[in-house]
Copies of this chain bind each other. A is one copy, B any other.
């Protein structure tokens, strides 16, 4: 069914083929005085999360392929030189100056009120004074963010921003070395990097991975020095932490989520010749079954499934805006407490998971079901 173009999409004429100017593809939202339109799904040439506004657009952030075997993956994909950049576990943000104001867009193409509130503290605006047309892409990382409640070993509280890409006006990534020199020159904190390497440096690369794992880090994105090839590869520890951080929410996640991480663990164990001793095995199993068991006990007693978050904001209005934003992306959240903490407000809130939890609760209280 081809939806008719609606008047509300008029401002986008010329930015996107007319057949896409409809509610199936685009969602309109206002942030302050600007009307934005986010692409709700991948279209040819325009990834999901691409954002449009009167006279402008920002490409969605590219998806990055994963490799399960580091050495084979590198040999297969990188004939030339490449860098390793640390892959950090937070949420992806694209920062762009529009009408002389900075905006932070999430992966899905929303303006995140929380990130907006903290933006001045996260990045140096000098970057945008010098490069007003560029988009700065990076990860907001830290234990106090509204999207992942997973702890981060190397940040005690609050959040930080780590850049890993710079896009030009047309949405093309700058060559790696140009990015690196702009990060240096503008004082933008970038993710850690190693290299350049070639595929004959596998042993060195493996020891970088081993060290990252020992430091409790997530992994790397391997980036070609002279093409646009990017591949991600994660550490054994990060797979276990992923399981542990999400196992309590198992009724909400597809079963494949956990299997994918177990497969990654075994591929690493296989490639690195790691012996899975009983302690590691029990750590893996407890990471999965421990939180699952707690959730099963909760739900069998009829309790709700909640996940708690804590964040710091500058403006009290941000709290409501964030809760509304979370609601608009399908998350049901409630504020527990707001207190002063230095120049910030410290906000505790929780997400309530209803859909999967309701089904699981019914099953645990005796309802029959087909599977």
**Which of these, B257, B284, B286, B368, contacts A66 with CB under 8 Å?**
B368
Q: Which of B67, B76, B256, B297 contacts A255 (CB 8 A)?
A: B256
* A263/B292 in contact, CB under 8 A: yes
Question: Given A63-B370, A281-B282, A369-B65, are A250 and B255 also a contact pair (CB < 8 Å)?
Answer: no
Q: A274: shortest Cβ distance to chain B, in Å?
A: 11
A278 at interface by CB-CB < 8 Å: yes
- The chain A residues found within 8 Å of chain B, CB to CB, are 63, 65-69, 71-77, 231, 250, 254-260, 262-263, 266-267, 269-270, 276, 278, 281-282, 284-286, 288-289, 292-293, 296-297, 300, 360, 363-371
A sample of 29 inter-chain contacts (CB < 8 A) reads A65-B369, A66-B369, A66-B370, A67-B363, A68-B364, A75-B366, A76-B367, A77-B366, A231-B368, A250-B263, A254-B255, A255-B260, A262-B289, A262-B292, A263-B292, A263-B360, A266-B292, A266-B293, A267-B300, A267-B363, A267-B364, A270-B293, A270-B296, A270-B364, A278-B282, A281-B282, A281-B289, A282-B282, A284-B289
**Chain B residue contacts of A363, Cβ below 8 A:** 67-69, 267
The residues of B that contact A65 with a CB separation of less than 8 Å are 368-370
In the complex with contacts A72-B365, A255-B255, A366-B69, A262-B278 CB distance below 8 A: no
Task: Assess the B260–A257 pair: CB atoms within 8 A.
Answer: no
Looking across the interface, which residue of chain B has its beta carbon closest to that of A276? Answer: B289
A297 cross-chain contacts in B, Cβ below 8 A? 270
CB distance from A209 to the nearest CB of B (A): 15
Using A68-B364, A263-B296 as known contacts, list a sample of 9 further A-B pairs with CB atoms less than 8 Å apart, ordered by residue number in A. Answer: A66-B368, A69-B363, A69-B365, A74-B366, A250-B263, A255-B257, A255-B260, A270-B293, A281-B286
Residues of chain B with a CB closer than 8 A to A71's CB? 366
A259 partner, pick from B74, B231, B255, B286, beta carbons under 8 A: B255
In Å, the complex CA distance between A154 and B184 comes to: 71
What's the minimum C-beta distance from A200 to chain B, rounded to whole angstroms? Answer: 16
In angstroms, Cα B297 to Cα A67, docked, is 16
Are B259 and A259 neighbours in the complex by a CB distance under 8 Å?
yes
Contact partners of A73 in chain B: CB under 8 A: 366-368
B contact residues around A292 at 8 Å (CB):
262-263, 266
Task: Provide the bound-state CA to CA distance between A256 and B369, in Å.
Answer: 15
In the bound complex, how far is the Cα of B76 from the Cα of A367, in angstroms?
7
Chain B residue contacts of A364, Cβ below 8 A: 68-69, 72, 267, 270
Q: Which residues of B contact A263 (CB under 8 A)?
A: 250, 292, 296, 360
In the assembled complex, the CB of A313 is this many whole angstroms from the nearest CB of chain B, namely 33
Report the nearest B residue to A365, measured CB to CB: B72
When C-beta atoms are compared, the residue in chain B nearest to A75 turns out to be B366
Task: Closest B residue to A70 by CB, please name it.
Answer: B366
Query: Chain B's nearest CB lies how many Å from the CB of A236?
Result: 13
Whether B281 lies near A293 (C-beta < 8 A) is no
